[in-house]
Amino acid sequence: MNTKLKLSIVGLLIAGNNILFSQSLADAIKLTTNEQYEKADAAFKNLLQNQGNSGEYLFYYGENFFKNDRPEKAKEQYQKAVEVNATNPFGYVGLGKIDWYIGKQTEAKAHFYKAITLAAGKNATVLMKIAEAYTQAEIKNLAEASALLTQATKLDPKNPEVYILMGDVYLEQNDGTNAINNYEKASAINPKYVQAILRQGQVWNRAKNYTLAIDTYKKAKNIDSTFAPAYREMAEIYLRAGMYGNAAYNAKRYLDLNNDCGTMGRYAGILFQAKQYKEAVAAASEAQKCDPNNVYLHRYLAFAQFESNDFANGIANCEAFFSKANEDVKIIPLDYEYYAKLLSKSKKDSLAIIQFKKALELQPDKIELNADIATCHRNLKQYADAIKYYNIKIDAGKAGANDYYGLGLSYYFSKDFVNADSAFSQIIKSNPNLGLGYLWRAKTNTQLDPKNEKWAAKTFYEDFLEKAKPEESKNNLVDANTYLGVYYMNNKDICTAKTFFKKVAELDPTNKNAKGFLDSAEAKKCP
């Protein structure tokens, strides 16, 4: 196979096939690379029908599913590759990758060893694909990946893909300089190799040099305007920058290039991140019509439906996701977290606590989940448990006004007014312009001073009225003005008392206390 032909098939070593066949396989692989998964699916089916089953074809068909987040379908093709030709190494590479991604390291290494043995040190692509799995999976083996790629370089030094993968290894080690050097080697071999340019953009993206990253992605688009990953990467950068309009535009361009079910699902994910929740629901629902078995669409729908306050349908999609997920579907902490939030919003706090704890178990550093658990316990009037979980977050030094508010309420309704007052005082310290802290210190101090011997709530009610916003609850305003009116009445300052009772009457014309005072002879003497 000449160099020009090898470059035309995206740097992958496909040996033992005629030129027409290689181009056909190259076309299918390019569709996968361009994330046009459904078009690639049709191309692979055509190949298999017209050319017959082959370990390589089935492997790359499996790769199309794998890169489209369909590991269960990928595994089927990898297994078929082994069944069709037990001496072909590619099927074992695929099976090993599936095992490696789900944490079955012993089984994965056995498959990889089988593939390497069958390749007999003569197939660079086998080594590259194993290295790719070691590099891209959550569980990594970068030393072994580097060793395999060093061997692959010796076997096929003019293959740009090997330098891409070597750059990826360096990138995972946070060595951006050597990553860029290898990506540039790939570009030197083939200046129009857009994957190399994309990777360079990803380095700048990782270094948070977003301007240079976008310029690099634009360079890739100028070489190949149909190269969809560049649009996806740009959409994600604009998301992080909060430029949601630009993000949605590039996501839509990505969708226009790859208008298939899988792409519609990814588009829904980007719309969700862009906070366009109703549009995300619509996109995911549309994708579900043509791909009803795609479990990940239930995830997108559930998340977006929570943010759209559609809690019932959100719960239904969460439950569908969990019921359909198998060992090949990676459940992430947000799956449990959103399910918990949906349950809590639906007043199913006992069930929500279970899901929040599952999310916390997977990400123990996410301390704020303890406050969510505490709030569920508070909703259930399980105040001792609520206090426990609020204090976990507070002790970690990550508390805000809402946490002290929840803690204060838990103490208040436990009738521990001293600790409630202490908690509410922290709200004032963290946000002195927020009326909430003053209101609840006032309420608490009326409990600590039930006979008004010290009028302990007076200054807090005064501060509350000063900070209160127009949308403040009428009942809270009535309570504050009534308390202050009674204070001045008891201190024989009838005219000042009248100003507060007049306010009560304005807020609540049927209030008997205000009416009784304002109708009194003493009050009528005041202007």
**Domains observed in the chain:** 1-191 (1.25.40.10), 207-254 (no CATH), 473-527 (no CATH)
- Euclidean distance between CA atoms 508 and 480, whole angstroms: 13
Q: Please name the residues in contact with 369: beta carbons below 8 A apart, sequence gap of 6 or more.
A: 337, 356, 359, 360, 363
- Euclidean distance between CA atoms 177 and 168, whole angstroms: 11
CA–centroid distance for 420 within its chain: 35
Q: How far is CA 280 from CA 264, 271, 299, 304, 384, in A?
A: 10, 5, 11, 6, 40
Whether 423 contacts 441, CB under 8 Å: no
Supply the pLDDT for residue 268: 87
3-state secondary structure 157-204: CCCHHHHHHHHHHHHHCCCHHHHHHHHHHHHHHCCCCHHHHHHHHHHH
Closest to 513 (Cα-Cα) out of 498, 495, 496, 491: 498
Supply the pLDDT for residue 420: 98
Q: Which token pair is 166? A: 């070597």
Whether 151 contacts 123, CB under 8 Å: no
What are 89-139's pLDDT values in tens digits?
999 999 999 999 999 999 999 999 999 999 988 899 999 999 999 999 999
CA angle 359, 365, 371 (to 5 degrees): 65
SS3 of 277, please? Answer: helix
- Euclidean distance between CA atoms 44 and 63, whole angstroms: 11
Whether 251 contacts 274, CB under 8 Å: yes
Q: Along the chain (527 residues), what's the average pLDDT of each consecutive run of 10 residues?
A: 30 32 75 88 91 89 92 95 94 96 95 95 94 94 96 95 96 92 94 92 88 91 90 87 86 83 80 89 91 90 96 97 88 97 98 98 96 98 98 94 97 98 97 96 98 97 96 96 97 96 96 95 93
Closest to 12 (Cα-Cα) out of 178, 208, 186, 172: 186
Main-chain phi, psi angles of 431, to 5 degrees: -150, 85
Supply the pLDDT for residue 17: 35
CB burial of 100-130 (b: ≥16 within 10 Å; e: otherwise) equals bbbeeeeebbebbebbbebbeeebbbbbbbb
Supply the pLDDT for residue 135: 96
